[in-house]
Structure 1
Amino acid sequence: MKLFTWISLTALLGATGAWKLKAGNQEWSGTTLPNPACQSVLIPRGAQISWKGSHGATTVQFFNTKGSCKQVYRTVAGQGDINASNTLYGFMVKP
């Protein structure tokens, strides 16, 4: 069911960037890149993170320095599941 919903969403959106980020009980999604680009979040160490991105939003970058989105801590492209080995304070969706 989840795969069908994801495929349907991306098919309906065509060339726009559909993306979905889930960490524990928190969830973010969109059909365009977030504005501002760097989203401030609090994802605790050990949280299970799931990422799915398509077309114009294929990559997510995570930052582990509070208040700063200058040094990338981890990058996930396309889709994938990871564990937060550090507390994360921000993310940025990229084409």
Structure 2
Amino acid sequence: MKRQGLLSATGILMLGLVMLMTLHEWDDTLPGQEDGILTAPAIVAKSITARAFSEEDGSLQYYLTAETLTQYDHNPLTEMQQPELEMANDKGSWTIV
């Protein structure tokens, strides 16, 4: 009986070791895919809505909507499809499409 328990424990340890080795290999990129990590987007969002309000009186400063938003780690710019920005101040309002 002790031998069966020892074999079971050894089998479980071997299975765990194989799983750890496999997971470690999955962290690495495939050959030729090094640039894919640099060009892949970090954030992709759909149906974006953003609002900013004035701290002084709580009035709406801007209202932004976009169909999609894409942000990359390697690029400080944010890409949007079909953005529409409505800005307001004490002199009037603007709509930028």
Structure number with greater CO (CA < 8 Å, separation at least 6) is 1
TM-based fold match above 0.5: no
TM-score normalised by L of structure 1: 0.23
The structure with the larger Rg is 2
TM-score normalised by L of structure 2: 0.22
Higher helix share: 2
